[in-house]
């Protein structure tokens, strides 16, 4: 099976599983709008390969960044000769 | 000639052309690849030749299908030519990947507006584009430049213009240039007049052409002319009768015609309603379902001559150009682990540091300003906003942070000891931590905790419950199937919360810890009513505020005064009648209940200062609906009570826009507007409160004393009128040019805080204003120079502002308009000569009948100062001759500013 076909199949499975969660709630047309949104987002993640990376690790609360305060002026707006 | 004949007429010639075309294409790729990859977007003959080469070899079916997507792509794939298509990610406050945030959560774009910083705008663009590239995306769906017309707007967070077109016209191209220099396409949105979310799918905005040109278009114009923005997204609403994506005047005449836009017009989410109108108007991509731009829909119009081939070919060329000019044909990036999260973290922190606006800083009883605080100060902290992970709006801008510093944590980390900072959880509305008791049984009242839950398999609480049990609290989530509380966790089992067939009754007892009124909050995906001591405290009819992305409904109410330690009954009835509430993007399917005291503890006066963090989150603000002007969850009353108990109260406001501050504005010691400050917001706030960072944010909006004073109020008094079965479908921008401070000037009225306002821990002096010429000659630029001095004892930034005031104008014009600003860092006692350019466009107004920007002969006052009401310096500039500027050649930015917003290759990574 080619990689693109794998992607399509994965996307279809993901969409199906997403749709399952929502399908139980389906009572109006707005639900299908949201199913489309979920499906499109899943497709995007499949196409880019992000879905294979998995969700970013939730590091949670963290310590302060040790980054100096920027003190640069805005770029010059003076006319140059 | 029939269409079939047309496609069959010259098979030999066509085959020859195809072969030749592919050969040339291969040659072109070899020639152009290096050049195209070096700088994005590539432009010029190499790009155009390659685009034409592909176009010439596409058949009609391929062409039409190259204008629609339904498979997750933005620019469609065209595999015959090795084009795999592109992917666009929602990325207003963070890159939305895998239903999470890929890299950093940035401050909202309204916060970026408050920085008034070209540097921060570029830094944001560079960082979020880097994350988009690593996530495998090729395009970001931002920045937004719609104006802050009303505080109600659910998407205020996503717009970088504030209420002024010039502010957006400077910052938006700086963002876009940062994004695109990284090889990622930006998308300016939402074109056009999408200043409200309420009933956005059906809303017709009625607005005159001059107002569009002078207020609502310049942000987009500047992205086109000063950043070669790759795409523009047309919105959901109508403008003067035509849907935004079907508006020929705005897309083909203005955007592509007058401004020479070479990029792609992409539809908002299925925002094209009529295939012919959308195609003819100039929309180039029908996304994400491709429902309209099908062969079946468009071919008949092509065959009949109503759509010329040029219209189709133009779309294809633009979409191909989007591929070729970014080298996506040969070098398409794919997702990788994020190697450098620190880029986004740093950009997020820097923006937050400069975005937070200090609005008030009164002297304490010791005779010194309340802020900055000593690190040894004993500080109380109140409010979920300080305790929880930094929020973002509901909808596609929702970006939960992966790592973050809460405001409470930031204060505790920066204080001399973390024990100096105490969180008062009794004043926090949190469904996880709210304390519940069961009715007393013998002597076991206190330990008998929890909420009695009765679950019904119908929506009317009829018959016997399917299940009755004691829950540890009410934080039920139907999507995750959990009820997570600090007192324990249960699973959704033994009952089925099916939409249309479910209701629940929750009964409990509370024992207030502080005497006085208590606040209750319920958030749920259906109707609910809540009683305390048998009195109805709050209710919701469960009717969604939006017709597309539907958020759960959050309501609060306050009780009568209750006595500490006594028991009071609580009953919540909830019905799940429909299943269209969204469980993602900040929404929830489920039901949550919480309560807290509305009175502070008796010892609050013992603290040196009290930080109250309030405002809106994804619960109250976001895509698809508008919200009210009042702070949510009875927070205004909480602030008043806290300030009464401790005058050293510091209010930190949050949200994409601003909320009503008037009820307590003069009663608190200090006020800051923190927007959605992003994942490092807690650090930035703590650094400002303790004085490590000198605040430099300035308001990109006017803060009204009351919503009735807002110039848009006359036409938009109530978002609720745009909801439900009889929702209004028209909005007239009746204030015309007189939006925000322009409207206040016209009425000679004073707001609570003016546009451009913001305090510092130091003071600045303005002096010695000079014009490089007292006469503006056609085609020239005048340098406005002055001396800016830090007259205080702390180093810091100042945002200096320049306004143009026509003297005795021949036509009706705003009293003054922002036409220049810059941000300068000064050490104590230091002075710098500051220069800001103005040109003829800075003085011009739009004349509809000649479709030109006109400058009348006359006089103009050039006003310079710290904010729109504090303009200490002025000089008079004269124009000797009338001037007519074309819409094609004139530019919202004078030439030096156009250069200032550029990003060079050395800044990319």
Interface touch A25/B579, C-beta < 8 Å? yes
Question: Which of B289, B337, B824 shows the shortest C-beta gap to A53?
Answer: B337
Confirm whether B261 is domain-assigned. no
Confirm whether B529 is domain-assigned. yes
* Mutation target vs A (from B70, B77, B97; most A CBs, 10 A cutoff): B97
Domain end, chosen from B538, B565, B596, is at B596
Nearest chain A alpha carbon to B684? A64
**What is the pLDDT averaged over residues B537-554?**
95
d(CA B429, CA B124): 33
Q: Residue B908 pLDDT more than 60?
A: yes
**Minimal CA separation from B499 to chain A, in Å:** 5
Closest CA to B315 of B2, B66, B57, B28: B66
Q: Residue A11 pLDDT more than 70?
A: no
Q: Residue B391 pLDDT more than 90?
A: yes
Q: Locate B211 and state its tokens.
A: 């107002």
State whether B736 and B621 are in the same domain.
Answer: yes
d(CA B305, CA B296): 15
A2 near B CB under 8 A: no
State whether B701 and B800 are in the same domain.
Answer: no
Number of independent structural domains in chain B = 3
Instruction: Residue A33: list chain B partners with CB under 8 A.
Output: 548-549
Confirm whether B66 is domain-assigned. no
**What is the pLDDT averaged over residues B519-546?**
97
Predicted confidence at residue A57, as pLDDT, reads 64
B413 near A CB under 8 A: yes
Confirm whether B38 is domain-assigned. no
Length of chain B measured in residues:
909
Q: Is A2 exposed, middle or buried (0-12, 13-18, 19+ CB in 10 A)?
A: exposed
Task: Kindly report the number of other CB atoms within 10 A of residue B369's CB atom.
Answer: 16
pLDDT digits (tens, 9 = 90+) for B794-803: 999 999 999 9
Interface touch B288/A60, C-beta < 8 Å? no
Helix (H/G/I), strand (E/B), else coil: B43: coil
Mean pLDDT of chain B: 95
Instruction: Residue B413: list chain A partners with CB under 8 A.
Output: 63-64
Predicted confidence at residue A56, as pLDDT, reads 63
State whether B562 and B699 are in the same domain.
Answer: no
pLDDT band at A2 (very low <50, low <70, confident <90, very high): very low
d(CA A31, CA B582): 8
Helix (H/G/I), strand (E/B), else coil: A66: coil
CATH code of the domain covering residue B411: 3.40.50.1700
Predicted confidence at residue B440, as pLDDT, reads 66
Instruction: Residue B119: list chain A partners with CB under 8 A.
Output: 70, 72, 74-75
Question: Distance of CA B55 to CAs B48, B63, B483, B733, Å?
Answer: 10, 8, 57, 42
Task: Kindly report the number of other CB atoms within 10 A of residue B717's CB atom.
Answer: 14
Closest CA to B862 of B800, B765, B768, B769: B769
Q: Locate B337 and state its tokens.
A: 């682990």
pLDDT digits (tens, 9 = 90+) for B365-382: 999 999 999 999 999 999
State whether B608 and B699 are in the same domain.
Answer: yes
Confirm whether B610 is domain-assigned. yes
Closest CA to B114 of B682, B679, B697, B673: B697
Predicted confidence at residue A75, as pLDDT, reads 97
Predicted confidence at residue A48, as pLDDT, reads 97
Instruction: Residue A18: list chain B partners with CB under 8 A.
Output: none
* Mutation target vs A (from B580, B687, B689; most A CBs, 10 A cutoff): B580
Predicted confidence at residue B442, as pLDDT, reads 62
Q: Is B15 exposed, middle or buried (0-12, 13-18, 19+ CB in 10 A)?
A: exposed
Interface touch A34/B498, C-beta < 8 Å? no
CATH code of the domain covering residue B530: 2.60.120.260
Instruction: Residue B548: list chain A partners with CB under 8 A.
Output: 30, 33
pLDDT digits (tens, 9 = 90+) for B588-641: 999 999 999 999 999 999 999 999 999 999 999 999 999 999 999 999 999 999
Q: Residue B686 pLDDT more than 50?
A: yes
| Interstrand relation of B139-140 and B88-89 (parallel, antiparallel or unpaired) | parallel
d(CA A8, CA B410): 45
Q: Locate B351 and state its tokens.
A: 């923006």
Q: Residue B683 pLDDT more than 70?
A: yes
Closest CA to B252 of B189, B318, B206, B297: B318
pLDDT digits (tens, 9 = 90+) for B644-680: 999 999 999 999 999 999 999 999 999 999 999 999 9
**What is the pLDDT averaged over residues B529-557?**
96
Confirm whether B140 is domain-assigned. no
**Minimal CA separation from B740 to chain A, in Å:** 26
The percentage of chain B sitting over the pLDDT mark of 90, rounded to a whole number, equals 94
| Interstrand relation of B403-404 and A60-61 (parallel, antiparallel or unpaired) | parallel
State whether B561 and B649 are in the same domain.
Answer: no
**Minimal CA separation from B635 to chain A, in Å:** 25
Q: Locate B577 and state its tokens.
A: 């009648």
3-class SS string, B663-697 = CCCCCCCEEEECCCCCCCHHHHHHHHHCCCCCCCC
Instruction: Residue A74: list chain B partners with CB under 8 A.
Output: 117-119, 822-824, 900
Predicted confidence at residue B109, as pLDDT, reads 98
Question: Distance of CA B594 to CAs B502, B521, B670, Å?
Answer: 21, 5, 28
**What is the pLDDT averaged over residues B291-319?**
98
pLDDT digits (tens, 9 = 90+) for B463-514: 999 999 999 999 999 999 999 999 999 999 999 999 999 999 999 999 999 9
Q: Is B899 exposed, middle or buried (0-12, 13-18, 19+ CB in 10 A)?
A: middle
B445-449, Cβ contacts within 8 angstroms, sequence gap of 24 or more: B445/B567, B446/B511, B449/B487
List all residues of chain B from 667 to 686 with a beta carbon under 8 Å from chain A.
Answer: 680, 683, 686
Predicted confidence at residue B25, as pLDDT, reads 42
Q: Locate A2 and state its tokens.
A: 């080619």
Nearest chain A alpha carbon to B479? A21
The range of the structural domain enclosing residue B562 comes to 451-546+554-596
Domain end, chosen from B745, B778, B797, is at B745
A49 near B CB under 8 A: yes
Interface touch A73/B89, C-beta < 8 Å? no
pLDDT band at A30 (very low <50, low <70, confident <90, very high): low
d(CA A50, CA B807): 58
State whether B642 and B772 are in the same domain.
Answer: no
The percentage of chain B sitting over the pLDDT mark of 70, rounded to a whole number, equals 95
Could you check whether the bond before residue A48 is cis, i.e. omega within 30 degrees of 0? Answer: no
pLDDT digits (tens, 9 = 90+) for B127-184: 999 999 999 999 999 999 999 999 999 999 999 999 999 999 999 999 999 999 999 9
Nearest chain A alpha carbon to B351? A70
pLDDT digits (tens, 9 = 90+) for B765-805: 999 999 999 999 999 999 999 999 999 999 999 999 999 99
pLDDT digits (tens, 9 = 90+) for B231-284: 999 999 999 999 999 999 999 999 999 999 999 999 999 999 999 999 999 999
Nearest chain B alpha carbon to A32? B580
State whether B588 and B455 are in the same domain.
Answer: yes
pLDDT digits (tens, 9 = 90+) for B407-432: 999 999 999 999 999 999 999 999 99
pLDDT band at B40 (very low <50, low <70, confident <90, very high): confident
pLDDT digits (tens, 9 = 90+) for B814-832: 999 999 999 999 999 999 9
pLDDT digits (tens, 9 = 90+) for B50-98: 999 999 999 999 999 999 999 999 999 999 999 999 999 999 999 999 9
Of B210-224, B443-457, B708-722, B742-756, the poorest mean pLDDT is in B443-457
Interface touch A63/B413, C-beta < 8 Å? yes
**Minimal CA separation from A60 to chain B, in Å:** 5
State whether B785 and B849 are in the same domain.
Answer: yes
State whether B378 and B411 are in the same domain.
Answer: yes
Length of chain A measured in residues:
81
- Contact between residue B88 and residue B140 where contact means Cβ atoms under 8 Å apart: yes
Nearest chain A alpha carbon to B402? A58
Helix (H/G/I), strand (E/B), else coil: B853: strand
State whether B465 and B587 are in the same domain.
Answer: yes
The number of C-beta contacts closer than 8 angstroms across A and B is: 188
Confirm whether B801 is domain-assigned. yes
Confirm whether B24 is domain-assigned. no
State whether B731 and B621 are in the same domain.
Answer: yes
pLDDT band at B23 (very low <50, low <70, confident <90, very high): very low
State whether B384 and B403 are in the same domain.
Answer: yes
Beta-carbon contacts of B18 under 8 Å, excluding residues fewer than 6 positions away, are B57
């Amino acid at each position: 099976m080619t990689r693109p076909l794998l992607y399509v199949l994965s996307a279809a499975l993901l969409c199906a599983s997403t749709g399952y969660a929502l399908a139980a709630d389906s009572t109006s047309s707005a639900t299908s709008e949201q199913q489309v949104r979920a499906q499109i987002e899943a497709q995007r993640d499949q196409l880019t390969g992000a879905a294979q990376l998995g969700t970013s690790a939730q590091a949670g609360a963290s310590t302060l960044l040790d980054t100096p305060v920027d003190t640069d002026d805005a770029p010059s707006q003076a006319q140059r000769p | 000639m029939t269409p079939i004949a047309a496609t069959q007429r010259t098979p030999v010639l066509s085959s020859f052309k195809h072969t030749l075309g592919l050969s040339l294409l291969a040659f072109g790729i070899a020639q152009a690849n290096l050049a195209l990859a070096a700088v994005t977007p590539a432009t010029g003959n190499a790009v155009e030749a390659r685009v034409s080469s592909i176009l010439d070899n596409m058949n009609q079916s391929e062409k039409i299908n190259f204008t629609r997507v339904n498979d997750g792509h933005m620019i469609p794939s065209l595999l015959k030519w090795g084009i795999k298509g592109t992917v666009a990610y929602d990325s207003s406050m963070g890159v939305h990947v895998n239903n999470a945030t890929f890299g950093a959560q940035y401050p909202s774009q309204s916060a970026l507006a408050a920085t008034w910083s070209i540097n921060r705008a570029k830094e944001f663009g560079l960082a979020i584009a880097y994350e988009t590239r690593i996530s495998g995306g090729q395009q970001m769906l931002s920045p937004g430049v719609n104006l802050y017309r009303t505080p109600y707007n659910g998407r205020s967070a996503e717009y970088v213009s504030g209420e002024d077109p010039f502010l957006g016209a400077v910052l938006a191209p700086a963002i876009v240039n940062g994004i695109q220099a990284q090889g990622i396409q930006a998308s300016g949105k939402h074109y056009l007049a999408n200043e409200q979310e309420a009933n956005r799918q059906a809303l017709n905005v009625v607005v005159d052409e001059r107002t569009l040109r002078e207020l609502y278009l310049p942000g987009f114009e500047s992205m086109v002319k000063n950043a070669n923005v790759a795409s523009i997204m047309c919105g959901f609403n109508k403008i003067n009768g035509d849907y935004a994506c079907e508006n020929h005047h705005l897309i083909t005449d203005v955007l592509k015609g007058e401004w020479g836009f070479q990029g792609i017009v992409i539809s908002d989410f299925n925002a094209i309603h009529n295939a012919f109108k959308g195609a003819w108007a100039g929309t180039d991509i029908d996304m994400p379902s491709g429902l309209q731009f099908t062969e079946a829909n468009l071919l008949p119009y092509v065959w009949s001559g109503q759509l010329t081939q040029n219209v189709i070919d133009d779309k294809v060329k633009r979409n191909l150009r989007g591929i070729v000019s970014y080298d996506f044909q040969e070098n398409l990036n794919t997702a990788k682990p994020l190697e450098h999260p620190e880029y986004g973290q740093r950009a997020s922190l820097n923006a937050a540091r400069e975005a937070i606006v200090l609005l008030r800083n009164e002297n304490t009883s010791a005779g010194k300003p309340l802020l900055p605080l000593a690190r040894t100060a004993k500080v109380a902290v109140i409010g979920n906003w300080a305790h929880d992970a930094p929020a973002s709006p509901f909808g596609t801008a929702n970006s939960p942070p992966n790592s973050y510093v809460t405001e409470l944590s930031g204060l505790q980390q920066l204080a001399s000891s973390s024990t100096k900072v105490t969180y008062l959880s009794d004043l926090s509305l949190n469904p996880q931590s709210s304390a519940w008791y069961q009715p007393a049984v013998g002597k076991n009242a206190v330990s008998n905790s929890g909420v009695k839950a009765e679950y019904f398999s119908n929506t009317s609480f009829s018959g016997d419950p399917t299940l009755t049990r004691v829950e540890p609290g009410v934080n039920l989530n139907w999507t995750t199937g959990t009820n997570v509380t600090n007192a324990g966790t249960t699973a959704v089992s033994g009952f089925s919360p099916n939409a249309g067939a479910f209701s629940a009754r929750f009964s409990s007892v509370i024992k207030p810890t502080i005497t006085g009124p208590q606040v209750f909050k319920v958030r749920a995906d259906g109707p609910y009513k809540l009683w305390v001591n048998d009195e109805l405290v709050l209710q919701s009819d469960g009717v969604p505020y939006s017709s597309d992305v539907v958020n759960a409904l959050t309501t609060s109410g306050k009780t009568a005064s209750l006595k500490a330690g006594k028991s009071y009954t609580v009953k919540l009835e909830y019905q799940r009648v429909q299943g269209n509430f969204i469980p993602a993007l900040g929404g929830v399917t489920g039901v949550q209940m919480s309560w807290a005291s509305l009175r502070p503890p008796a010892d609050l006066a013992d603290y040196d200062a009290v930080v109250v963090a309030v405002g809106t989150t994804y619960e109250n603000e976001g895509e698809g609906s508008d919200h009210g002007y009042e702070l949510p969850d009875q927070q205004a009353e909480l602030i008043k009570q806290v300030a009464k108990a401790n005058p050293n109260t510091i209010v930190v406001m949050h949200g994409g826009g601003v909320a009503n501050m008037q009820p307590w504005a003069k009663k608190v010691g200090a006020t800051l507007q923190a927007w959605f400050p992003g994942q490092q917001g807690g650090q930035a706030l703590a650094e400002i409160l303790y004085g490590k960072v000198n605040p430099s944010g300035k308001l990109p909006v006017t803060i009204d004393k009351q919503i009735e004073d807002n110039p848009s109020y006359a036409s938009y008094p109530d978002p609720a009128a745009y909801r439900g079965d009889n929702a209004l479908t028209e909005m007239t921008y009746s204030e015309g040019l007189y939006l925000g401070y322009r409207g206040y000037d016209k009425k000679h009225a004073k707001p609570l805080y003016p546009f451009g306002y913001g305090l510092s821990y130091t003071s600045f002096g303005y002096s010695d204003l000079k014009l490089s010429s007292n006469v503006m000659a056609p085609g020239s630029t005048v340098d406005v120079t002055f001396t800016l001095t830090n007259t205080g004892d702390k180093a810091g930034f100042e945002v200096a502002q320049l306004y143009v005031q026509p003297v005795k104008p021949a036509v009706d014009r705003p009293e003054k308009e922002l036409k220049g600003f810059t941000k300068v860092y000064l050490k104590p006692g230091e002075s710098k000569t500051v220069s800001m350019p103005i040109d003829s466009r800075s003085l011009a107004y739009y004349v509809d009948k000649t479709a030109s920007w006109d400058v009348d002969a006359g006089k103009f006052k050039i006003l310079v100062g710290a904010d729109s009401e504090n303009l200490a310096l002025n000089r008079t500039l004269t124009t000797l001759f009338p001037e007519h500027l074309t819409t094609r050649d004139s530019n919202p930015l004078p030439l030096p500013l156009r250069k200032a917003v550029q990003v060079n290759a050395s800044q990319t990574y």
